[in-house]
Amino acid sequence: MTLHTTVVLAMSADGKIADRDRRAARFGSANDKAHLERRVAEADAVLFGAGTLRAYGTTLSVRNPQLLADRKTRAQTPQPIQMVCSRSAVFDPNLRFFSQPVPRWLITRDRQQWGTPEFDRVLTWDCEDWRSLLSQLEAEGIQKLAVLGGGAIVGELFSANLVDELWLTVCPVILAGVGAPTPVEGLGFAQGLGPRLRLETVEAIEGEVFLHYIVE
């Protein structure tokens, strides 16, 4: 498989990507938002879960003129495809996401579950075979995929050995809470069996630390 998968997440200093009530994470700075926009601009498509969409109600589009120009130079579409992965395909059609000027795809197990025109494409998926899904995306011409959460999707992709690199922003705040979500969830790995990471770069900007890992 030649499709390249990049996970991009921000977390609190104690390893949480949202608070105990699982509300949208707003603790990242403007620097982190700019960093996220750069990662999104590099991708052909962005993948996130239904819970992430419901929490934020929107998605991050590329607005920076230089990033838009870079996409044009690379012969990419003006905006990456925004792909929502949902087993139930139940959303509030009034979410701002559905009025944003971005291409929207739905990935679900039954295309009949969603019969309204808010999505440009609907891809079916058995909710278990991630390798088959990514092969399907690759056949659609997607070469670079950015995954923005949530932790359950990231955990399943790591379990399937389908993550190539990880960008992780550590933000200077403590959220705590036994039920607060973490960057990678799911069944977990036994000690010594989890994916190994190679640290590529570290950058500290105004209290936040930006970590870039390659998955070995």
pLDDT digits (tens, 9 = 90+) for 193-213: 999 999 999 999 999 999 999
- 178 has a pLDDT exceeding 70: yes
- 127 has a pLDDT exceeding 90: no
Q: What is the mean pLDDT of residues 180-193?
A: 92
**Rounded CA gap, 170 and 157, in Å?**
21
Q: What is the pLDDT of residue 126?
A: 78
- 41 has a pLDDT exceeding 60: yes
Q: What is the pLDDT of residue 117?
A: 64
Q: What is the pLDDT of residue 128?
A: 75
For residue 175, CA distances in Å to 18, 88, 144, 170, 211 come to 8, 29, 32, 12, 20
- CATH number, domain at 118? 3.40.430.10
Residue 115 pLDDT grade (very low, low, confident, very high; cuts 50, 70, 90): low
Q: What is the mean pLDDT of residues 161-174?
A: 97
**Rounded CA gap, 159 and 144, in Å?**
19
Residue 114 pLDDT grade (very low, low, confident, very high; cuts 50, 70, 90): low
**Rounded CA gap, 82 and 119, in Å?**
10
| Residues spanned by the domain of 136 | 4-215
- 111 has a pLDDT exceeding 90: no
**Other beta carbons less than 10 A from residue 153's beta carbon:** 23
Tally the domains of the chain.
1
Residues 6+ apart with CB under 8 A from 189: 159, 195
**Rounded CA gap, 138 and 120, in Å?**
18
3-state helix/strand/coil string of the chain: CCCEEEEEEEEECCCCCCCCCCCCCCCCCHHHHHHHHHHHHHCCEEEEEHHHHHHHCCCCCCCCHHHHHHHHHCCCCCCCEEEEECCCCCCCCCCHHHHCCCCEEEEECCHHHCCCCCCCEEEECCCCCHHHHHHHHHHCCCCEEEECCCHHHHHHHHHCCCCCEEEEEEECCCCCCCCCCCCCCCCCCCCCCCCCEEEEEEEEECCEEEEEEEEC
* Phi, psi (deg, nearest 5) at residue 49: -85, 165
